[in-house]
């Protein structure tokens, strides 16, 4: 009887009951599976994504994972090219599946975003674990090529686990040509489309990761001469680089100790031939300073984890409250989000910018469930007009407006060198995500504008929700 109830309640994949969806990508969904009390992550590939290129990418990932087994990697448990996938309605079909170790602690990114930068002792703990994983991969002649905070996970004991080997490669030759990675973490030789050594590129990416967890913000937006921060590095103006960053960190030079600066200068060296090796990183004085114990890490990160989960839950509840309030009126009506009972008047805005909504569309997006996402439940025409009309609230002015998408380029009022695009994405179920991308200018000022925009929307919508509650 109990077995039948479980079968009705859960879908399954092979011997594993599917408990929930952990994430979704272009080619696959990642599900939480359980069998005999053991939880795993199951990467289930979509049945209609079996193109030659996708199969080639998957084959590469499987071949890499089969060669690896290390405590600081998300290791392969099983691969099956035709594992029975049974839906709750009883329908069963074979699916390509990868079963991996579960990293229950989540992404390192979430901890930095929600609870701030790490102490030097904590940073060293994780730095040593990442270096151990990277050294192991290098010993197998494997490079990762997409190291970033989102691909660095924590297990249930808060130990580090490197994940996502979709871009990884066996280095059969000294140099690689394929341009892969995530812009903010990519080494300058990759950005410049030059041949590169995979391990040296990974070391650069690791340098970006540990700058972020130490400082709470990235060192630059992209490793090219178009980025004002990285241009200082290219010109060997490191003192100016540190001075600029200290302006936003209280001005105390000890925020970036000399040994930490020396380590970053070695890992982020623009010339890969002058970049630190893994051995130099492991032997560096800063790395071998005081390190947190596992017990201290667990005590600290249990609290951080609670905060992360609380913020994610609060974010979900707020989105649901917005959705419920937004659903009270007919779809398509321009309801105000600024605490007014009457409709916002956008006639002047529509005429000023000659807006035509007949041929305007939203592309598909995805809510990651992170507290840093900007999500609204409103008519897209309303949100678009609201942002154009009230852009002075986040100290910006309108640049180019896309003719067919819900997309606009803004420039900062105080600094025209800072420009960014903002696009409304359709996340389904009347959910809209604001996708912001910096086009030029200072990264930290861009983040400040992003926070002002988010605060303006949150403050105004909170006022609207309070009014709705009073009316109820």
SS3 of 116-184: CCCCHHHHHHHHHHHHHHHHHHHHCCEECCCCCHHHEEECCCCCEEECCCCCCEECCCCCECCCCCCHH
Q: Among this protein's residues, is 146 annotated catalytic?
A: yes
Is 43 annotated as ligand-binding? yes
Give yes or no for a contact between 335 and 78, defined as CB atoms under 8 angstroms apart: no
Which listed residue (15, 36, 146, 156) is catalytic? 146
Residue 40: count of CB within 10 angstroms of its CB? 17
Give yes or no for a contact between 201 and 143, defined as CB atoms under 8 angstroms apart: yes
Binding-site positions for ATP = 43
Which active-site residues does the annotation give? 146
């Amino acid at each position: 009887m109990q077995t039948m109830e479980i079968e009705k309640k859960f879908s399954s994949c092979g011997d594993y009951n599917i408990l929930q969806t952990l994430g979704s990508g272009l080619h696959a969904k990642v599900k939480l599976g359980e069998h005999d009390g053991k939880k795993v992550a199951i990467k289930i590939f979509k049945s209609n994504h079996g193109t030659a290129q996708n199969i080639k990418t998957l084959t590469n990932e499987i071949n890499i994972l089969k060669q690896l087994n290390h405590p600081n990697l998300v290791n392969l448990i099983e691969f099956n090219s035709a594992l029975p996938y049974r839906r709750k309605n009883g329908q069963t079909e074979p699916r390509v599946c990868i079963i991996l170790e579960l990293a229950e602690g989540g992404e390192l990114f979430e901890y930095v975003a929600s609870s701030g930068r790490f102490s030097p002792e904590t940073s060293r703990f994780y730095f040593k674990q990442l270096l151990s994983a990277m050294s192991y991969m290098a010993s197998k002649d494997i490079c990762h090529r997409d190291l970033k905070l989102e691909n660095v996970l924590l297990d249930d004991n808060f130990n580090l686990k490197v994940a996502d080997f979709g871009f990884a490669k066996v280095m059969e030759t000294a140099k690689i040509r394929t341009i892969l990675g995530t812009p903010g973490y990519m080494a300058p030789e990759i950005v410049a489309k030059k041949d590169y050594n995979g391990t040296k590129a990974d070391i650069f990416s690791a340098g970006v990761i540990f700058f972020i967890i130490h400082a709470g913000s990235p060192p630059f937006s992209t490793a090219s001469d178009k980025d004002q921060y990285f241009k200082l590095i290219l010109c060997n103006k490191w003192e100016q680089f540190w001075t600029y960053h200290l302006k936003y960190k209280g001005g105390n030079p000890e925020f970036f100790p000399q040994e930490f600066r020396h380590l970053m200068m070695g890992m982020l060296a623009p010339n890969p031939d002058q970049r630190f090796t893994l051995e130099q990183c492991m032997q560096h004085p800063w790395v071998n300073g005081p390190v947190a114990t596992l017990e201290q890490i667990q005590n600290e990160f249990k609290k951080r984890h609670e905060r992360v989960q609380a913020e994610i839950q609060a974010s979900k509840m707020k989105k649901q409250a917005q959705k419920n309030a937004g659903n009270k009126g007919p779809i398509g009506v321009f309801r105000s989000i600024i605490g007014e009972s009457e409709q916002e008047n956008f006639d002047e805005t529509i005429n000023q910018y000659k807006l035509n909504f007949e041929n305007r569309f939203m592309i598909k997006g995805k809510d990651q469930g992170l507290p840093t996402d900007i999500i609204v439940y409103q008519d897209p025409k309303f949100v678009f007009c609201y942002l154009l009309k009230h852009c002075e609230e986040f100290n910006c002015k309108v640049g180019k407006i896309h003719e067919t998408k819900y997309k606009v380029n803004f420039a900062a009022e105080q600094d025209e060198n800072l420009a960014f695009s903002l696009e409304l994405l359709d996340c389904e179920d009347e959910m809209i995500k604001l996708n912001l991308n910096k086009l030029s200018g200072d990264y930290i000022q861009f983040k400040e504008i992003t926070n002002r925009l988010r605060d303006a929307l949150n403050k105004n919508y909170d006022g609207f929700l309070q009014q709705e509650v009073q009316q109820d």
